[in-house]
A and B are shown apart, each in its own frame.
Chain A
Amino acid sequence: MIHSLIGSIGKKTISGIADVSHASALINETVYWLFVGPFKRKGVRWASSIHQMVLIGYQAIPIVSLISLSVGIIMALQAAYQLRRVGALIYVADLVGISITRELGPLLTAIILAGRSGSAFAAEIGSMKVTEEVDALVAMGLNPVKFLVVPKMLGIMIMLPCLILIADFVGISGGFLIAVGSLNLNFERYLTQTVNALVLTDVLTGLIKGLVFALIIGFVGCHEGFSVDGGAEGVGLRTTRSVVTGIFLIILADCFFTVLFYVFS
């Protein structure tokens, strides 16, 4: 019994160490190709990177916009419900503006991309591993990290902040629609109140978070993809893990950043 327990702990520890070692090797290799690649001949596959930007960014605009609009509307209505009691309805603009730019815009966009793109990274690389495509790349003398990971990382690092800006704008517009259409607030007054409430730091904070979230989604998705073994079941398992781990790490990082910004602001 004790032997089996110790054996089980030992096996899990070794597997965990191997997992961390593999993840750090992937990060190391990716960072090398991200920074050194552009200065080397054929170091970055720009066409593939632009293709990834379209898949990750452009095609996610409708869903990101729709969710941000809904969240903006919900935020405005919930805020109005409380603020009306104290006659401070105009502060709906402050609440929606700040919470969307600092928190909800980056967080929701990152969660959408973890589900949409992070899972796609894991499934694509995992399937390629199962069908020997990754082995074929290695056998041809091509680096799979440079070939598969770097275009995805470039795509998500550039497009996630762009999507966050769209989410901020659409989310604030959702609050604005409710304020003007349902709460009978003056258009100009609401706009001025929002502009006064927001400072550049709020938007920048969201963008910095967005960049870190992009790294998390990209690395987790690709790492899980390369860790696939077995067949279709392995791909499904790692795809699920990429979403769960991705969202968990995003919220953990968000918590860390919120505390950090609170302490230093």
Chain B
Amino acid sequence: MLLYGSFLCVQLGGIGVRIGRSKIVSDPIVQVLELVAQYGDLRVLEGVSFEIPNGSVTVIAGSSGCGKTTLLRHMIGLLKPTAGRILLRGEDIVAMSERELSRIRTRQGVLFQGAGLLNSLTLADNVALPLREHTELRESTIEIMTRMKLELVGLLGFENFLPSQISGGMRKRAGLARAIAMDPEILYFDEPTAGLDPVTSAEIDELILKLKRTFRMTIVAVTHELPSIKNIADWVVMLDQGKVVFFGTLQEILACEDPTVRRFLDRQPGEVVYDSQRYIEAITGTNP
């Protein structure tokens, strides 16, 4: 049994070593260090620190509004934090200019919650877009590579369809084909199975595992879907109210006894603390 923060967790193996409050992984590809983020006066992330091990699937979990997507957007470089650093293979992406970030972004793929496909382009053109813009490949080679990626996600034959003509699950798969078009070393997923039926969700999970096995990609997925977490995660970072409450392997979190973690894993409602004074202040508008 090892002490992790203020609670006890069981370490059942894995490549990590614990030092104090943080866990050091042996081969991190991404390191998030003391990240602080806020929207206006509202602080969304508070001193978030963890590491993403190379070649593994790391799930960023937590209840809605805990700051998962905000954290992911910082890791992709879409948002600049108030404080803290994010190191990708030792390079601090927070300090980088947009031009430097563009170079880094060709080495990473992102699948957004709504897939983020360009609605004016066909699926084939969507997948071919990064290849056309970032490489000097001939058009015939790009067409073959595009078909290969679409085949990988089971969408061969849908090349000329527009995103509006296919289902939500197919859009996610097409978005995934585009995300892996440049064979990235790290792949980010924002809620990959949100809003999908259980069968399609399982198919997306299977695709994620296939990518890890076949291409040895490092995968970071933001999700709160428990079946997906149990299915795909090697490592889990759990956030609660903008803070990391757990970072460890899947086995460790399943055995973790921390009340916040247990509430999430056992699907229990949060504690409601009733404060009559605050309630009166809130409804009368006297609360500062």
Interface residues of A (CB under 8 A from B): 42, 128, 131-133, 135-143
Residue on A nearest B104 in the bound complex, by CB = A141
Assuming A138-B78, A139-B78, A141-B102, is B112 touching A132 (CB within 8 A)?
Answer: yes
Q: Which residues of A contact B78 (CB under 8 A)?
A: 135, 138-139
- Would you call B130 and A140 a contact (CB within 8 A)? yes
**Residue B103 at the A interface, CB < 8 A?**
yes
- In the complex, the answer to whether B130 meets A131 with C-beta atoms within 8 Å is no
Question: B residues within 8 A CB of A140?
Answer: 105-106, 110, 129-130, 133, 178
Give the size range of B's interface with the partner: 20 to 34
> Are B119's CB and A139's CB within 8 A?
no
B103-132 vs A: 1/0 string, CB under 8 Å? Answer: 111101010111111110000000001100
Question: Mind listing 6 A-B residue pairs with CB under 8 Å?
Answer: A132-B112, A133-B116, A136-B175, A140-B129, A140-B130, A140-B178
In the complex, B134 has a CB within 8 A of chain A: yes
Nearest CB on B from A166, distance (A)? 27
List B contacts of A128 (CB < 8 A): 118-119
Known contacts A141-B105, A141-B106; A135/B133 CB under 8 A: no
Which positions in B face A, CB cutoff 8 Å? 73, 76, 78, 98, 101-106, 108, 110, 112-119, 129-130, 133-134, 175, 178
Residue pair A141, B130 in contact (C-beta under 8 Å): yes
7 new A-B contacts, CB < 8 A, other than A136-B112, A140-B110, A140-B129, are: A131-B116, A139-B105, A139-B112, A141-B103, A141-B130, A141-B133, A142-B130
* Contact between chains at A142 and B133 (CB < 8 Å): yes
B93: shortest Cβ distance to chain A, in Å? 13
Please indicate the chain B residues that have their CB under 8 angstroms from the CB of A143 in the complex: 98, 102
Q: Which residues of A contact B178 (CB under 8 A)?
A: 140
Q: Which residues of A contact B118 (CB under 8 A)?
A: 128, 133, 136-137
**Distance (Å) between the CB of A133 and the closest chain B CB?**
5
Chain B residue with the shortest CB-CB distance to A137: B118
Q: How many A-B residue pairs have CB under 8 A?
A: 57
- Complex-state Cα separation, A42 to B130, whole angstroms: 12
Q: Which 9 A-B pairs have the closest CB atoms?
A: A136-B116, A141-B105, A139-B110, A132-B116, A141-B102, A132-B112, A141-B106, A140-B130, A132-B114
Query: What is the distance, in angstroms, from B52's C-beta to the closest C-beta of chain A?
Result: 17
User: For residue B76, which residues in chain A have a CB less than 8 angstroms away from its CB?
Assistant: 139
Nearest chain A CB to B97 CB, angstrom units: 12
Contact of B112 among A42, A135, A141, A142 (CB under 8 A): A135
How far is B100's CA from A141's CA once the two chains are assembled, in angstroms?
A: 10
Cα A191 to Cα B287 in complex, Å, equals: 77
Chain B residues near A131 (CB, 8 Å)? 114, 116, 119
B-side contacts of A136, CB under 8 Å: 110, 112, 116-118, 175
Contact A133 B119 (CB under 8 A): yes
> In the complex, what distance in Å separates the CA atom of A132 from the CA atom of B76?
14
Residues of B with C-beta under 8 A to A141: 101-106, 130, 133-134
Q: With A and B bound together, what is the CA distance between A135 and B70 in angstroms?
A: 13
Contacts of B112 in A (CB 8 A): 132, 135-136, 139
Among B101, B114, B178, chain A packs the most CB atoms within 10 A around the CB of: B114
A230 to chain B, nearest CB (A): 14
Query: In whole Å, how far is A138's beta carbon from the nearest beta carbon of chain B?
Result: 6
Closest residue to A143 on the B side, CB-wise?
Answer: B102
Cα distance, A244 to B117, chains bound together (Å)? 31
Give Cα A131–Cα B126 distance, bound, in whole angstroms: 15
Q: Nearest CB to that of B73 among chain A residues?
A: A135
Beyond A139-B105, A141-B106, whether A42 also contacts B116 by CB under 8 A is no
User: Which residue of A is nearest B107, CB measured?
Assistant: A141
CB A168 to nearest CB in B, in angstroms, measures 33
Cα distance, A137 to B133, chains bound together (Å): 11
CA distance A140 to B115 in the complex (A): 13
| Closest beta carbon of chain B to A245's beta carbon, Å | 25
Min CB gap A124→B, angstroms: 9
B106 contacts across to A, CB distance below 8 A: 140-141
Cα distance, A136 to B239, chains bound together (Å): 25
Shortest CB–CB separation between residue A237 and chain B, in angstroms? 20
Contact between chains at A133 and B102 (CB < 8 Å): no
Whether B133 contacts A42 by the Cβ 8 Å rule is yes
Give the Cβ gap from B162 to chain A, nearest Cβ, in Å: 13
Q: Report Cα–Cα, A132/B115, bound state, in Å.
A: 8
Q: Tell me the bound Cα distance from A185 to B29 in angstroms.
A: 83
Chain B: minimal CB distance from A50 (Å): 15
Please measure, in the bound complex, the distance between the C-alpha atom of A141 and the C-alpha atom of B131, giving whole angstroms. 11
When C-beta atoms are compared, the residue in chain B nearest to A141 turns out to be B105
Residues on B with C-beta less than 8 A from A135 are 73, 78, 112, 116
B134: chain A residues at CB < 8 Å are: 141
CA A135 – CA B175 in complex, angstroms?
Answer: 13
Task: Tell which of A42, A128, A135, A139 has the most Cβ of chain B within 10 Å.
Answer: A139
